Amino acid sequence: MNRSSTDPRDAALPTADHVIGTTAVMRGLRATPHFFQVPLDHSRPASPLIEVFAREYSSLDHSDDDAARLPWLLFLQGGPGGRGVRSTQLTGWMKAAAKQFRILMLDQRGTGLSTPADAATLASLRSPQEQADYLTHFRADSIVADAELIRRRLGSNPWTVFGQSYGGFCTLTYLSTAPEGIDRALITGGLAPLSGVADDVYRATFARVEERNRQYFSWYPEDRGTVTRIARHLDDVVEHLPSGERLTAQRFQMVGSLLGGNTRVHALHYLLEDAFISVGGRPRLSATFLEQVHGMVSRAAQPLYAVLHESIYCQGAASAWAAQRVLEEYPQFRADAKETLLTGEMIYPWYFTEDPALRPLQPVAEILAAKEDWGRLYDTDVLATNTVPAAAAVYRHDIYVDRDLSLRTAATVRNLEVWETDEFHHDGIADDGEAIFERLLAMTRA
């Protein structure tokens, strides 16, 4: 295995294509690690190899032999750049799924225990252009090709694929390029636009985020002034995050990621109430507040999220920093607006100067933002004739994956049943994953 390789392009040392590690037994579950060698570029047979890690979860309610006979369910995590969930017990949707499936939790290429793609490993490539060329193989099309290769190596029949958020985008790509590998498809908060440009996404989501700000401040009117006070304080007073860099007002706005949560939105109120302390009779931001904010605004643990985020919408066109350009149409989101609003998951070019973890990746991010020749991620003709049973939860007020764009996609995918609800937000499966999973599974069996 090549986890110790200093050059991410290096072919793996001679090893089996599939290595199974030692099973751990935890509270009610078995967890078995799997390592797979896959091509960096699936279109080139002689492409260097990288490693993709996945963890198999099964319930102790099944004997070892019975568990080995269960059909597989592949879970595709949100992202981009998100590793698979590390579970120590079966709860939520996993509890429901493990009743009848073996769950394969994928560390998408570049994340977790898969061959890493971060500032340290990419630095071994000779130029930012080589880094960009390498990272073009880390989008949904490559993730799906990995998954299908893994399915065959496991000897699995067509499996159930469950995609959350960006994992839903990947599921649509899977239905486009290898539907023969899927028995049924389940999607939550992840119906991607099949065409158009990234600008369309941000125009829709800026509007959703503004609406969510208004809703939040109607619940906690005292926080309206606190948010603006923090922003103005950061303009005038130098406050440092625990990692040493200055916290700016525009970076503080990133804590709006909590607005996309069903219950974690209320954690924003607890965050803000800890903001200020008095030091020598003058207001300063508390260490407690700065520590919590750092955990929310740093991309150190997930650099690919920032580097690849806008590219997940690109097909034959450059993103050209779409969120930054569309922001000009929404001046109410400027950090220096009279009443500061919090933002969602948008990625801006200044992230790569303000976040120390992203500074080494600024050149490659600029190249990827200017790249125009992105390949297709979806085959609309194949989706229009899809025969795989599919079901999707569309969250009416989702600030990350717009409801209207999702329904437009759903209308063009044959055999896809939609459950639209205002009961949940983007992280619905974290709130009541068991009920959501069981409902979608039943929809594919109707």
Catalytic residues: 165, 373, 426
- CA–CA distance, 377 with 409 (Å, rounded to integer): 14
Contact 34, 24 (CB under 8 A): no
Residue 139: strand, helix, or coil: coil
Pick from 292, 242, 243: nearest CA to 269: 292
Residue ranges with strand state E in 263-411: 276-279, 282-285, 390-395
- CA–CA distance, 389 with 85 (Å, rounded to integer): 25
Backbone angles phi, psi at 285, to 5 degrees: -80, 135
- CA–CA distance, 348 with 322 (Å, rounded to integer): 8
Backbone angles phi, psi at 323, to 5 degrees: -60, -40
Per DSSP, 53 falls in state E
- CA–CA distance, 199 with 374 (Å, rounded to integer): 16
Burial of 384 by CB count in 10 Å (0-12 exposed, 13-18 middle, 19+ buried)? Answer: exposed
Kindly state the helix (H) or strand (E) to which residue 182 belongs, with its residue range: strand 182-188
DSSP 2-50: -TT-SSTTSPPPS--SEEE---EEEBTEEEEEEEEEEESSTT-TTPPEE
